[in-house]
A and B are shown apart, each in its own frame.
Chain A
Amino acid sequence: MNEELSYFMQLLIGGLSVGSVYALVALGFVLIFKTTKTLNFAQGELMMMGAYFCFTGVMYFKLPFVAAVGAALLFMAALGFVINIVVIKPMIGKPTFSVVMVTIGLATIFGHVVGLVYGHLEIKFPSPFSVNQVVSFAGIYVSTVNLWTIGVSIFFLALFYIFFKYSTIGLGMKATANEQTASMLLGVNINRMFALSWVIAAITATVAGVFLASSSCLHAEMGMIGLRALPAVILGGMDSVAGAIIGGITIGILENLAGGYLDEALGGGLNQITPYIIVIFVMMVRPYGLFGKKHIERV
């Protein structure tokens, strides 16, 4: 294989793994959007907190890694439940803008609470995966973390697809999103749907956080990476699970390619804003995303 092609493949695979983390975070966004019709700007911070919980479990309570992840999942599920009761429930019926601002407020609080407790330095994440552990096929090196991330994303995709398509709870969530009053009349317990969607979103965020921290390191500004998953949500369409995954992976690959090929010409760090440049163009052409439903306005 020639050098140029292998460089391209390397970027592609790197992008694929970044993209699969985006996809996991984007899933959380879509989940909340599907039930509550709002965007949760604290999704990235939930991801970061999940990773920190896991870190605390390993470092301070000396738990084995898998047990620490389990404990983090439990704590985060509880946190999602509490957020729903304390903050989101009083906002039911308020304008979307207010609800979104509340989640931005939450994101600010979480980000700084973690900063206050753990400081702002980068911490090495005690993960059983190592970035240096690589598998090679045909001259392309892929680290095992990346493979795991991609695998787990695909697993969650399948899970959520089945959940929303066939399970009663999943259908109830979709109904809640579509029309709250009507679904209440049909016997859907809306409160439970809201609580569940927050719990599940917190859980996916934790999984994403653990993988993201494993592939780089742990730091209090990790929540910003969650914000970079927003373009993925837009690209895929805010109410499409499959769209979130495809959007996430597309954005990941594009930003890695842009970083790899254009950085020299345009100054470094291009990969950090590529998602936002893409999102502005997508908004101008297809505001409801590639797979989202077109929203028809009625007066």
Chain B
Amino acid sequence: MTSGDFKETYQDDIKIFQTSFVKFWLLILCLALLVFPFLASKYLIYLANISGVAIIGALGINLLTGYTGQVSLGHGAFLAIGAYTSAVLAVRFELPFYVLIPVSGLFSAICGLIIGIPSLRLRGLYLVITTLAFQFIVEHIIYRWKSLTMGDDGIALASPSIAGLTLDSDQRYYYLVLVVVVLCTVSMKNLTRTRVGRAFQAIRDRDITAETMGVNLTKYKLLAFSLSSFYAGVAGSLYAYYLAFISPDHFTLMVSIQYIAMIIVGGMGSVLGSIFGALFITLLPEVLGGLTRALGEIFPAFVSRLGDVKGIVYGLVIVCFLIYQPAGIHGWWIKIKTWFKTYPFTY
């Protein structure tokens, strides 16, 4: 038995499946994910579906903010663009979902390209404000362009169907979400191992240095924006189909903050971190909901203010993670892994 995992070539170092141990457990995870809907209750499948959507969105913003260092407060707007593209096209032209999901992603990516243009000159705080402005402008357009988006009334969608099979139950929809999540995760993991991924990280660490080393800033910054928006668009589209009804309320600034919170909590610049964060932030309100219902028996006034309790906890989670655990859950994960790997010699 080796005393550690030593890499002798660079190829070894960037392999996805580092050891056969990892391969084995990933296989187990895949099987577990496949049989999950047969064993779980309807509520658990619902949670799995919304977590899946959140994972795709979180991967997108982690690509932009975690890997490339371009902070965006407009992720909710890109989700909205994806969701509304699907909804409008599905209602007007009755296109099938397997066309609309990529189309929504693409349209969102084009919008991402446009909002990426100011990023060529702006950094840090200024970019935060531009994306914030974009979020509000998109919200406003959706709210006011009633002939297209129905404004406040929202749009209802039919359940997606493929070859005569309608994905109308949570269980069936679960498999669609699962497929898309796996595709997105694998492609993102692979992207980060290529020249493109390394260029993104170079831009994050110091953009001027990256440029002097031959990274084309214009190309890669715009690429990061459009890829990130593509993920957001796909997530938005899936979300719209799953809810079967969307309105401007689903894509407020709070949603953008939630996605930022996901990658802060999960771990910036890490695929696994995006997944952890998405699960944590999506499941947190459900746990809180349970707790407040329990507390509600003692303080009945509490239940009606559930939204505020959630908001406070989101805020606290963001602040506490940033102060005490900047590496996020992924940081803990690495610590635990190292502890096991090096046991009993913990140095």
Contact = CB atoms under 8 A, between A and B. Distances in A.
Interface in B27-48: none
Contact of B315 (A109, A231, A266, A299): A109
Contacts of A91: 322-323
Which of B146, B310, B318: most chain A CB closer than 10 A?
B318
A215 B322 CA distance: 37
A212 interface: no
Contacts, number: 129
Contacts of B65: 97
B124 interface: yes
B143 interface: yes
Interface residues of B, number: 48
A87 interface: yes
Given A238-B125, A284-B118, A287-B121, A277 B318 contact: no
A94 to B, nearest CB: 7
A112 B317 CA distance: 14
A280 B208 contact: no
B137 A277 contact: yes
Interface string A223-250: 0000100110010001000000000000
Interface string A82-112: 0000010011001011101110111111111
Interface in B66-106: 69, 71, 73
Given A91-B323, A94-B326, A287-B121, A272 B126 contact: no
Given A269-B143, A273-B137, A277-B137, A105 B318 contact: yes
A287 B129 CA distance: 11
Given A104-B318, A267-B144, A273 B118 contact: no
Interface residues of A, number: 44
Interface string A267-289: 11100110011011001100100
A97 B260 CA distance: 11
Contact of A100 (B122, B125, B133, B311): B125
Interface in B305-347: 305, 307-312, 314-319, 322-323, 326
Interface in B203-235: 206, 208-209, 212
A297 interface: yes
Please classify the interface of chain B as helix (H, G, I), strand (E, B), loop, or mixed, using the class held by over half of its residues.
helix
Which of B124, B132, B322: most chain A CB closer than 10 A?
B322
Contacts of B310: 112
Nearest to A230: B129
A276 B137 contact: yes
B140 A272 contact: yes
A38 B125 CA distance: 8
Given A97-B124, A276-B136, A115 B319 contact: no
Contacts of B209: 299
A287 B122 contact: yes
A299 B129 CA distance: 25
A110 B121 CA distance: 33
Contacts of B317: 105
A12 to B, nearest CB: 24
Nearest to A266: B144
A105 to B, nearest CB: 3
B137 A96 contact: no
Contacts of A94: 322, 326
A39 B326 CA distance: 19
Nearest to A276: B133
Interface in A120-164: none
Contact of A104 (B122, B137, B143, B257): B257
Contacts of A231: 129, 133
8 contacts: A38-B125, A39-B129, A102-B322, A108-B315, A111-B311, A230-B132, A283-B126, A287-B126
Interface of A: 38-39, 87, 90-91, 94, 96-98, 100-102, 104-113, 115-116, 227, 230-231, 234, 238, 266-269, 272-273, 276-277, 279-280, 283-284, 287, 297, 299
8 closest Cβ pairs, A-B complex: A112-B311, A109-B315, A105-B318, A108-B315, A276-B133, A116-B308, A105-B319, A267-B144
Given A104-B257, A105-B317, A116-B312, 19 more contacts: A98-B326, A104-B260, A105-B318, A109-B319, A111-B311, A113-B312, A227-B132, A230-B129, A231-B129, A234-B129, A273-B136, A276-B133, A277-B133, A279-B130, A283-B118, A283-B121, A283-B122, A284-B117, A284-B118
